[in-house]
């Protein structure tokens, strides 16, 4: 039960940390990474640092817009939005061009991301890309078979120049699937109980990252019980989730498997935070995910641009509140959002020293994730 008036640390002190989520065995960033990050940050001005916190969408079959957002706002990540039936080689031509632009304007490699889950959610479907079945069907495979198949699919992504996959889905759909529009209705879940989902996540994450594609656990702390879609509604709510929710088990499994990123849900979780959606909740972003579950990687938003769940909050403020909550990487699928997001975060950091410290910490985390992924070296 969440007690009003208590900070996240106080609330968490009342909730025992289970062995399943103990952070003691998680890898600690080596000293060389910390020194490397510190050196990189010293060479960046505020706009550069804020740029590292942005992942901006461009149409997958028309990536020309990437040039303007990278050059103008030093954006450190590009999301290929939509669906493409072009070949691995054709996609690689585009990702190479994006990589050259990012290196030119930021001095560093950037993330190039897609949604390649399987089934209905596949960004890349052309020649050279296997089309994985839905996660629900993948969940029927043995762990060995799932690892093997994931390695094949992920190798194809890496050959196309993709470095971050916004997958796997760690949500457990424990209500009637058709009543769960964002996940269950499209069979995006690996199963209907947390143990089954956790076993799949534990197989998928290392197989994907072993082929050079960073994995993203989503949508924390879970969308498997909501009855509305955050993309289209402001009513998505999970009134069951608590700090000891069994639905956290797959996320814990993915964290222990070394997932480099976790995506936050934009739904409401009243027992975790009665006032803010997960993406803007320090109790959830920092308290639950990073402190209780021990996640030390990159925390990112779901799409905060076109998503209806946040439409009551001004666009730039959506990014500011996420960073205030302890988050790191802001995703918008709309190319035109790059400017407003960058300007809002820069403006706040210029007048608020505490917020500027959080921007620096977030930029450090994004840079460290790129170092861990082998994209950036000192």
Q: Which residue ranges form the domains of the chain, and what is each CATH number?
A: 61-372 (3.20.20.300)
pLDDT of 5 above 70: no
Determine the pLDDT at residue 18.
35
pLDDT in tens, 129-144: 999 999 999 999 999 9
pLDDT of 11 above 90: no
pLDDT of 10 above 80: no
- The pLDDT-based confidence of 194 (bands split at 50, 70, 90) is very high
pLDDT (average), residues 335-363: 98
pLDDT in tens, 149-189: 999 999 999 999 999 999 999 999 999 999 999 999 999 99
Do 363 and 41 contact (CB within 8 A), yes or no? yes
Do 323 and 362 contact (CB within 8 A), yes or no? yes
Determine the pLDDT at residue 289.
98
Helices 353-372 & 338-351, crossing angle to 10 degrees? 130
**Torsion angle (degrees, nearest 10) of CA 172, 177, 181, 185:** 110
Whole-angstrom Cα distance, residue 206 to residue 134?
A: 19
Q: What percent of the chain has pLDDT over 70?
A: 92
Nearest to 174 by CA among 144, 197, 150: 197
Beta strands at 214-220 and 121-122: parallel, antiparallel or unpaired = unpaired
- The pLDDT-based confidence of 31 (bands split at 50, 70, 90) is low
Nearest to 251 by CA among 171, 370, 356: 171
Helices 66-73 & 88-106, crossing angle to 10 degrees? 20
pLDDT (average), residues 337-364: 98
- The pLDDT-based confidence of 26 (bands split at 50, 70, 90) is very low
299: left (phi over 0), alpha (psi -120 to 50) or beta: beta
Higher confidence at residue 18 or residue 229?
229
Determine the pLDDT at residue 33.
77
Helices 143-159 & 88-106, crossing angle to 10 degrees? 70
pLDDT of 224 above 60: yes
Buried b (16+ CB within 10 A) or exposed e, 161-191: bbbbbbbbbbbbbbeebeebbbbbebbbbbb
- The pLDDT-based confidence of 317 (bands split at 50, 70, 90) is very high
Output the CA–CA distances (angstroms, integers) from residue 304 to 10, 94, 320, 321, in the order listed: 29, 25, 11, 11
Average pLDDT for the chain: 92
Determine the pLDDT at residue 9.
33
Q: Check whether the bond before 82 is cis (ω within 30° of 0).
A: no
Determine the pLDDT at residue 30.
55
pLDDT in tens, 79-130: 999 999 999 999 999 999 999 999 999 999 999 999 999 999 999 999 999 9
The DSSP secondary-structure symbol of 304 reads -
Instruction: Count CB-CB contacts under 10 A for residue 335.
Output: 23
Do 335 and 57 contact (CB within 8 A), yes or no? yes
Contacts of 147 (CB under 8 A, 6+ apart): 203, 204, 206, 207
């Amino acid at each position: 039960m969440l007690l009003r008036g208590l900070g996240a640390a106080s609330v968490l002190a009342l909730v025992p940390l289970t062995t399943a989520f103990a952070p003691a065995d998680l890898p600690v960033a080596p000293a060389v990474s910390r020194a490397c990050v510190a050196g990189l940050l010293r060479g960046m001005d505020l706009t550069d640092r804020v740029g590292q916190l942005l992942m901006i969408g461009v149409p997958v079959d028309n990536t020309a817009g990437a040039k303007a957002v990278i050059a103008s706002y030093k954006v450190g990540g590009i999301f290929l939005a939509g669906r493409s039936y072009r070949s691995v080689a054709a996609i690689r031509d585009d990702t190479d061009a994006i990589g050259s632009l990012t290196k030119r304007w930021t001095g560093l490699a950037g993330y190039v991301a897609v949604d390649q889950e399987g089934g209905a959610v596949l960004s890349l479907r052309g020649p050279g890309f296997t089309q994985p079945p839905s996660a629900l069907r993948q969940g029927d495979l043995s762990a060995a078979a799932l690892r093997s198949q994931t390695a094949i699919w992920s190798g194809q992504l890496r050959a196309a120049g993709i470095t971050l996959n916004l997958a796997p889905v760690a949500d457990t759909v424990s209500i009637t699937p058709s009543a769960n529009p964002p996940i269950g209705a499209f069979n995006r879940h690996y199963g209907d109980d947390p143990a089954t989902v956790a076993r799949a996540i534990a197989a998928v994450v290392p197989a994907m990252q072993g082929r050079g594609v960073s994995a993203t656990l989503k949508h924390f702390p879970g969308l498997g019980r909501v009855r509305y879609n955050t993309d289209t509604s402001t009513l998505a709510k999970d009134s069951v989730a608590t700090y000891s929710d069994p639905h956290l088990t797959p996320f814990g499994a993915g964290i222990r498997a070394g997932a480099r990123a976790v995506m936050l849900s934009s739904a409401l979780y009243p027992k975790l935070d009665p006032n803010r959606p997960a993406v803007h909740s320090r109790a959830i972003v920092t308290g639950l995910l990073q402190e209780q579950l021990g996640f030390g990687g990159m925390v990112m938003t779901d799409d905060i641009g076109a998503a209806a769940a946040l439409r009551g909050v001004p666009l730039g403020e959506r990014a500011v509140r996420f960073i205030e909550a302890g988050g790191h990487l802001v995703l918008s699928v709309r190319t035109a959002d790059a400017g407003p997001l960058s300007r809002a975060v820069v403006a706040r950091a210029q007048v608020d020293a505490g917020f500027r410290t959080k921007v620096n910490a977030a930029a450090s985390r994004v840079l460290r994730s790129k170092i861990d992924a082998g994209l950036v070296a000192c």
